[in-house]
Amino acid sequence: METTTLGFVDLIRSQLDAVEVAMRAQSGLHHPSLDDAVEQLLASGGKRIRPAAVLLVGELFDARGKELVTLAAAIEMLHTATLVHDDLIDGSVLRRGAPTLNSRWSTGATVLTGDYIFARAAFLASRTGSLPVMEAFARTLMTIVNGEISQLSHGPLLPDRAEYLRRIYAKTASLFELASEGGAMLSTQDAERVQTLKAFGYSLGIAFQMVDDVLDFVGDPRDVGKPVGSDLRHGLVTLPAIYFANENPGVREDLAEACAGRLEGPRLEAAIAAIAASDAVRSCMEEARTFIAEARDALSSFPSGPAKSALLDLAAYVVERSV
């Protein structure tokens, strides 16, 4: 796997390597080809931002126990499992430039492989040796799945900002929250500090998803790995579209059609191009930066040092990245 060159990982490089090992330990799927497919999924696996958050929160408390590595692996596995089932449900054929499991395997094999990765994630979570962490893990799993279920039946109603925030909390921020809260739970007995780190993870996760949703409109498709406007093409109305519709009420009808999966052809392309070129994109980035400022504020009570600097770098990366 490619060595990452992001600054905030320098402090935790050896622990991140241990996370890779933990994700693969006892993988023991009784099906060599699916085992290979899972390995490929893990190897192509993104930037490990969630594990980095767990480990850097640990560093903040000078904690470097193997429980932190185990939690980081559990969270990344949970993230991976949700991707497997999401790709199946959305019928996606590519993920990070590689063929998805569902594009190569039956529905049954894909469902079960996702289930197995969930099971491995739960097993790793149980190995943190912390019941509060385990409980938070299970709660987060419920939040994520429930969020996906509530999106199944949203129909042709345009979400508003509040609804959008609820969705991206369930989809993304809940797991960032678990990463920082869980990392803190394993590192300190100070309940107030745990809450502070939980708030840090929440703001970081919300900003992360907002930037993702902006990049879907204005990122380089070669970096992002999917066509421009991919969300809207799949009926998903995100913050740039919501802000654009607020300023341009005439587009609401088209976006409602998009929500219902009925907007196609030139009208769809026109809507995507208009949103991408609009001020809505700038407003969304501003809002993401506001959440990052809140994340930074959450760290203000911690003394300066390499761990805090790395977490601030991580927060800066979330809004500065191009992919």
Residues that bind its own copies (CB under 8 A): 28-31, 33-34, 85, 88-89, 106-109, 111-116, 118-120, 122-123, 125-127, 129, 131, 134-135, 137-139, 141-142, 145-150, 152-153
Query: What torsion, rounded to 10 degrees, do the Cα atoms 230, 287, 57, 124 define?
Result: -30
Whose Cβ is closer to its own copies: residue 166's or residue 252's?
166
Q: Which is nearer to its own copies, 105 or 244 (CB)?
A: 105
Closest to its own copies by CB, 114 vs 219, is: 114
Least separation in angstroms between CB 52 and its own copies: 24
Smallest distance from the beta carbon of 108 to its own copies, in angstroms?
A: 4
- Tokens encoding 211: 């930037």
Nearest to its own copies of 111, 316 (CB atom)? 111
φ, ψ at 301 (rounded to 5°): -80, -5
Least distance in angstroms from the C-beta of 118 to its own copies? 6
Closer residue to its own copies (CB): 107 or 304: 107
Nearer to its own copies, 57 or 125 (CB): 125
Smallest distance, its own copies to C-beta of residue 112, A: 5
Amino acid at 85: H
Of 28 and 266, the one with the shorter C-beta distance to its own copies is: 28
Closest approach of its own copies to the CB of residue 90, in Å: 8
CB of 85 to its own copies, least distance (A): 6
Contact 167, 147 (CB under 8 A): yes
Give the shortest CB-264-to-its own copies separation in angstroms: 21
| CB-CB neighbours of 305 under 10 Å | 12
> Nearest approach, Cβ of 170 to its own copies (angstroms)?
9
SS (H, E, C) the chain: CCCCCCHHHHHHHHHHHHHHHHHHCCCCCCCHHHHHHHHHHHHCCCCCHHHHHHHHHHHHCCCCCHHHHHHHHHHHHHHHHHHHHHHHHHCCCEECCEECHHHHCCHHHHHHHHHHHHHHHHHHHHCCCCHHHHHHHHHHHHHHHHHHHHHHCCCCCCCCHHHHHHHHHHHHHHHHHHHHHHHHHCCCCCHHHHHHHHHHHHHHHHHHHHHHHHHHHHCCHHHHCCCCCHHHHCCCCCHHHHHHHHHCHHHHHHHHHHHCCCCCHHHHHHHHHHHHCCHHHHHHHHHHHHHHHHHHHHCCCCCCCHHHHHHHHHHHHHHHCCC
Q: How far is the CB of 279 from its own copies (least distance, A)?
A: 33
**Whose Cβ is closer to its own copies: residue 30's or residue 222's?**
30
CB nearer its own copies, residue 121 or residue 228:
121
